Chains A and B, each alone.
Chain A
Amino acid sequence: MTLRFRLNGRDVTVETSAGRRLLDLLREDLGLTGTKEGCGEGECGACTVLVDGKPRLACLTAAIQVEGKDVLTIEGIAAPGKLHPLQEAFLATAGVQCGFCTPGLIMAAYALLQENPHPTEDEVREYLAGNLCRCTGYAQVVEAVERAAERMR
Chain B
Amino acid sequence: MRRLDIVRPRDLAEAVRLTTEGGQPLAGGTDLFVRLQKGVARPGFLVYVGELPELRLVRGTEEEVEIGAAVTHAAILAHPATARVPVLRLALQTIGSPALRHMGTLGGNLANASPAGDGLVPLYLLDARVNLAGPGGERSLPVAEFVRGPGKTALRPGELIRSITVPLPKDGAQAYFRKVGRRRALLIAVASLGALVWLEEGVIAEARLALGSVAPTVIRPREVERALVGRPLTVEALAELRDALSSAVQPISDLRASADYRRRVAGNLLLDLASQLAHFPSCGQGG
Tell me the A residues contacting B by CB distance below 8 Å: 17-19, 21, 40-43, 45, 48, 54-57, 59-62, 64-65, 67, 108, 111-112, 127, 129-131
Measured CB to CB, the closest approach of chain A to B24, in angstroms, equals: 12
Grouping DSSP codes into helix (H, G, I), strand (E, B) and loop, the B interface class, with mixed when no group exceeds half, is loop
- Chain B contacts for A55, CB-based, 8 A: 98-99, 102
In the bound assembly, the distance between CA atoms of A40 and B36 in angstroms comes to 12
**Given A18-B5, A60-B103, A130 and B96 contact (CB-CB distance below 8 Å):** yes
In the bound assembly, the distance between CA atoms of A57 and B99 in angstroms comes to 6
The 8 A CB mask of B30-60 against A (1 = contact, 0 = none) is: 1001100100000000101010000000000
B154 located at the interface, meaning its Cβ lies under 8 Å from any Cβ of chain A in the complex: no
- Chain A contacts for B6, CB-based, 8 A: 18-19, 62, 64
Which 10 pairs, one residue from A and one from B, show the smallest C-beta to C-beta distance?
A130-B97, A129-B185, A19-B4, A55-B99, A18-B6, A54-B102, A60-B33, A41-B34, A19-B6, A64-B6
In the bound assembly, the distance between CA atoms of A65 and B8 in angstroms comes to 9
Measured CB to CB, the closest approach of chain B to A18, in angstroms, equals: 4
Tell me the B residues contacting A by CB distance below 8 Å: 1, 3-8, 26, 29-30, 33-34, 37, 46, 48, 50, 74, 96-100, 102-103, 184-186
User: B99 to A43, Cβ gap below 8 A?
Assistant: no
**Given A19-B6, A21-B1, A65 and B48 contact (CB-CB distance below 8 Å):** yes
Cβ contact of B98, chosen from A18, A40, A65, A108, cutoff 8 A: A108
CB nearest to B38 among chain A residues: A41
User: B1 to A57, Cβ gap below 8 A?
Assistant: no
Grouping DSSP codes into helix (H, G, I), strand (E, B) and loop, the A interface class, with mixed when no group exceeds half, is mixed
User: A111 to B98, Cβ gap below 8 A?
Assistant: yes
User: B5 to A129, Cβ gap below 8 A?
Assistant: no
**Interface-central residue, B34, B98, B103, B184, by most chain A CB under 10 Å:** B98
15 A-B pairs with CB atoms under 8 Å apart are A17-B5, A41-B37, A42-B30, A42-B100, A42-B186, A45-B99, A55-B99, A56-B102, A56-B103, A61-B103, A62-B6, A62-B33, A64-B48, A108-B99, A112-B98
User: A130 to B33, Cβ gap below 8 A?
Assistant: no
Measured CB to CB, the closest approach of chain B to A10, in angstroms, equals: 23
Cβ contact of A19, chosen from B3, B34, B96, B102, cutoff 8 A: B3
In the bound assembly, the distance between CA atoms of A108 and B6 in angstroms comes to 28
CB nearest to B46 among chain A residues: A19
In the bound assembly, the distance between CA atoms of A41 and B1 in angstroms comes to 11
In the bound assembly, the distance between CA atoms of A119 and B186 in angstroms comes to 21
In the bound assembly, the distance between CA atoms of A67 and B7 in angstroms comes to 12
A-B contact sample (19 more), CB < 8 A, given A19-B5, A61-B103, A62-B4:
A17-B4, A18-B4, A18-B6, A19-B1, A19-B6, A41-B34, A42-B30, A48-B99, A54-B74, A55-B98, A57-B103, A62-B26, A62-B29, A64-B8, A67-B8, A108-B98, A111-B98, A130-B96, A130-B186
User: B184 to A129, Cβ gap below 8 A?
Assistant: yes
User: B7 to A42, Cβ gap below 8 A?
Assistant: no
In the bound assembly, the distance between CA atoms of A62 and B96 in angstroms comes to 19
Measured CB to CB, the closest approach of chain B to A124, in angstroms, equals: 12
In the bound assembly, the distance between CA atoms of A61 and B102 in angstroms comes to 12
In the bound assembly, the distance between CA atoms of A60 and B50 in angstroms comes to 14
Measured CB to CB, the closest approach of chain B to A9, in angstroms, equals: 21
**Interface-central residue, A40, A41, A42, A64, by most chain B CB under 10 Å:** A42
- Chain B contacts for A127, CB-based, 8 A: 98
- Chain A contacts for B1, CB-based, 8 A: 19, 21
Measured CB to CB, the closest approach of chain A to B29, in angstroms, equals: 5
